Amino acid sequence: MNLSTGNLIMGLNTLQLMFYFAAALAIVASLKVITGKNTVHALLYLVVSLLAVAVCFYLMGAPFAAGLEVIVYAGAILVLFVFAIMMFGLGQDETLNAPLSHSFKLSNINLWFGPSLIAILLLSELIFAIDSSLVQEKLTSNIIDAKQVGILLYGPYLLAVEIASFLLLAGLIAGYHFAKSEGISIGQEGLDKQKETGGHS
Amino acid sequence: MSEIPLSHVLILASILFTIGFVGIIARKNTLFILMSLEVMLNAVGVAFIGAGSAWQQADGQVMFVLVLTLAAAEVAVGLALLIQMQRRFKSLDIDLLSKLKG
């Protein structure tokens, strides 16, 4: 809707139109994340939402941040979510996140349809941005490259980088401690009692 | 000065932040709450990048990198707690965590 009305108005800037389109896709994907019933569907929409935001970053003249968004957010953090969902065992959740049919056929194509549609739209927009010389000209005029960011990171922000490294170390240790197999903090009988009261599903 | 006005970037960031906030408030599944937290942190990143590109300073991207590390650490701890919760309660309902008090 945003695009169809936008294409008619050629007075607007091409870069702005592309930004609004990617922003609309990000908002739609985020809404699908929080309203979804199925965990895996919501995760796919979250990936697409992050990719849309990465396109927004690219159009705002921050290609380094866009790359980080794709690599770290969509690549690493979301894979962590996928691993967690795998460990929960699909179907034990109260929201019934398992796909209905266990056959990986075209029958569950509606699982892939929404996220892949948004991803294809984003890809076409990115291809257009790379291909169009007009957009490239506008983009390269106000770019902030990785070199400036790196100089700032290891100059005035060195203390923040150190603190971030401590934060990551703390996250690593806490993650290892919490996800350890059986609870050490409470005794075995307390754990058994909690298992009994925890409900049989 | 960037082509995209800063106010529109901030509008996008606040819309995304509100979506994530509504997700945190409305959902009962803890996994969805963590995903909504990701959306909110992402919105913060959008605001930082937008401000950085509006003033042509690299500070915005530096703050985005720091937000990224924060999100990574938060998600690691949160998912580990989630695994422990699934192991003990056999469910991801956030209301079960009210038993934690005392």
In a domain, B43, yes or no: yes
Nearest CA in chain A to B75: A77
Query: In this predicted model, what pLDDT tens digit does every residue of A159-188 receive, in sequence order?
Result: 999 999 999 999 999 988 888 876 455 544
Query: In this predicted model, what pLDDT tens digit does every residue of B71-101 receive, in sequence order?
Result: 999 999 999 888 888 888 877 788 887 877 6
In a domain, B78, yes or no: yes
Higher-confidence residue of B30 and A86: namely B30
CB-nearest partner of A168 from B26, B31, B69: B69
Query: In this predicted model, what pLDDT tens digit does every residue of A107-164 receive, in sequence order?
Result: 556 667 788 888 888 888 888 887 877 777 777 777 888 888 889 889 899 999 999 9
Q: How confident is the model at residue A172, as a pLDDT?
A: 92
Contact A22, B28 (CB under 8 A): no
Cβ distance B91 to A201 less than 8 Å, yes or no, reads yes
In a domain, B80, yes or no: yes
Q: How confident is the model at residue A10, as a pLDDT?
A: 52
The alpha carbon of residue B4 is apart from the nearest alpha carbon of chain A, in Å, by 6
In a domain, B89, yes or no: yes
pLDDT band, residue A106 (cuts 50/70/90): low
> Which residue range forms the structural domain that includes residue B34?
28-93
pLDDT band, residue A93 (cuts 50/70/90): very low
In a domain, B33, yes or no: yes
In a domain, B53, yes or no: yes
- Please give the tally of structural domains in chain B: 1
Q: How confident is the model at residue A17, as a pLDDT?
A: 86
Choose from A35, A46, A53, A184 for mutation: most chain B CBs within 10 A: A53
| Residue B35, CA distances (Å) to A50, A54, A99, A163 in order | 11, 17, 19, 25
Nearest CA in chain B to A69: B68
CATH number at residue B79: 1.10.287.3510
Q: How many residues does chain B have?
A: 102
CB-nearest partner of B42 from A16, A53, A92: A53
Please name which of A34, A22, A2 lies closest in space to residue B19, comparing C-alpha atoms: A34
Q: What angle do CA B89, B87, A88 make, to 5 degrees?
A: 110
The alpha carbon of residue B50 is apart from the nearest alpha carbon of chain A, in Å, by 7
Cβ distance A80 to B75 less than 8 Å, yes or no, reads yes
Contacts of residue A72 in chain B, CB cutoff 8 Å? 68, 72
Residue B70, burial from CB neighbour count under 10 angstroms (0-12, 13-18, 19+): middle
Please name which of A97, A42, A83, A30 lies closest in space to residue B75, comparing C-alpha atoms: A83
Q: How confident is the model at residue B87, as a pLDDT?
A: 82
Average pLDDT value for residue range A17-29: 91
The alpha carbon of residue B12 is apart from the nearest alpha carbon of chain A, in Å, by 7
Higher-confidence residue of A92 and A110: namely A110
Query: In this predicted model, what pLDDT tens digit does every residue of B22-52 receive, in sequence order?
Result: 999 888 888 899 999 999 999 999 999 999 9
Quick check: A27 pLDDT over 90?
yes
Cβ distance A148 to B58 less than 8 Å, yes or no, reads yes
Interface residue A5 vs chain B (CB under 8 A)? no
Cβ distance A199 to B89 less than 8 Å, yes or no, reads yes
Quick check: B9 pLDDT over 60?
yes
Helix B30-54 vs helix A14-35: crossing angle, to nearest 10: 160
Quick check: A198 pLDDT over 80?
no
Contacts of residue B77 in chain A, CB cutoff 8 Å? 171, 174-175, 178
